[in-house]
């Protein structure tokens, strides 16, 4: 019985240490920033009228959003132009970059957008 208890404790300790090492290794993995890892996540706003645009940095290094542009705007209250900015987004972070809404709530609205970024120095 004592032997079983000792083995159980050793197995639990080994499992814990193994999981800790696997977790540490996973966090150390380098993921380069690219347009495949710096992505936009548009979501409907809580009011059901506006849309929120989030930028997610899925890379393992910090980046800076340098610009956000609305284009091909129809019935959009926001200026349909390039906005220069300097917004730092850390590794694996997500931030709200814009909230877009209609000029006339009784009519549909549409737009396209793009953003630019660079690696943080």
Q: How far apart are CA 69 and CA 48, in angstroms?
A: 23
- The ranges assigned to domains in the chain are 1-30, 38-119
The pLDDT, as a whole number, for residue 1 is 46
Q: How far apart are CA 120 and CA 46, in angstroms?
A: 32
Q: How far apart are CA 76 and CA 62, in angstroms?
A: 31
Output DSSP code: residue 76: B
Q: What percent of the chain has pLDDT over 90?
A: 74
Model pTM score: 0.73
Q: Which fold has domain 38-119?
A: Immunoglobulin-like (2.60.40)
* Residue 101 reports pLDDT greater than 80: yes
pLDDT tens digits for 9-49? 444 444 445 555 555 555 579 999 999 999 999 999 999 99
* Residue 50 reports pLDDT greater than 50: yes
* Residue 90 reports pLDDT greater than 80: yes
């Amino acid at each position: 019985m004592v032997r079983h208890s000792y083995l159980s404790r050793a197995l639990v300790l080994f499992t814990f240490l193994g999981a800790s090492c696997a977790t540490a290794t996973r966090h150390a993995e380098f993921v380069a920033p690219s347009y495949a890892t710096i992505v936009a996540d548009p979501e409907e706003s809580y009011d059901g009228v506006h849309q929120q645009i989030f930028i997610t940095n899925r890379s393992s290094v910090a980046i800076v959003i340098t610009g956000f542009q609305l284009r091909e705007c129809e019935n959009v209250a926001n200026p349909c132009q390039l906005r220069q900015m300097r917004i730092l987004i850390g590794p694996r972070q997500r931030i709200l970059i814009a909230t877009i809404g209609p000029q006339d709530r009784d009519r549909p609205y549409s737009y396209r957008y793009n953003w630019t970024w660079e690696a943080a120095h």
